[in-house]
Amino acid sequence: DTEVTQTPKHLVMGMTNKKSLKCEQHMGHRAMYWYKQKAKKPPELMFVYSYEKLSINESVPSRFSPECPNSSLLNLHLHALQPEDSALYLCASSHPAEIPLHFGNGTRLTVT
């Protein structure tokens, strides 16, 4: 089992809904990441938080809003998504200057 926990495992939402994805780790990592992955494709980096501060935003549309309330938690707030946003959303964590990344099992998001 992974040490990075993501909830929910599955989410179906309409284009007008607001929902949030949650990620939690207790490994003492100070860097946390959101990735988006389409089927059979590599993960695409969305955001990186380092010491609870947003350090990388890969030009992600504003309908995705990340939040890092503390060193163990990472949220991704979703609003007015499009069907093409349907994907597996992966959270990961690491020591800031080190990798490997430790990935959660993801949230499978379907936008209808």
Q: Which residue(s) pair with 72 in the sheet?
A: none
Minimum CB separation of residue 80 from another protein in Å reads 27
Task: Give the C-alpha separation, 87 to 84, whole Å.
Answer: 8
Q: Which of 76, 78, 94, 111 binds another protein (CB under 8 A)?
A: 94
Residue 7 sits in the site that holds another protein (CB under 8 A): no
Interface pick for another protein out of 8, 26, 56, 82 (rule CB under 8 A): 56
Identify any residues that bridge with 74 across adjacent strands, giving them in sequence order: 23
- Please tell me the distance from the alpha carbon of residue 60 to that of residue 89, in angstroms, as a whole number: 13
Task: Indicate whether 2 belongs to the interface with another protein (CB under 8 A).
Answer: yes
Judge whether 64 and 71 are in contact, CB under 8 Å: no
Nearer to another protein, 40 or 84 (CB): 40
The pair of structure tokens assigned to 78 is 């979703």
The residue from 13, 73, 80, 101 that contacts another protein (CB under 8 A) is 101
> Which of residues 30, 63, 79, 102 is near another protein by CB under 8 A?
102
CB 6 to another protein: min, Å:
8
Which DSSP letter does residue 70 get?
Answer: E
- DSSP lists the bridge partners of residue 79 as 18
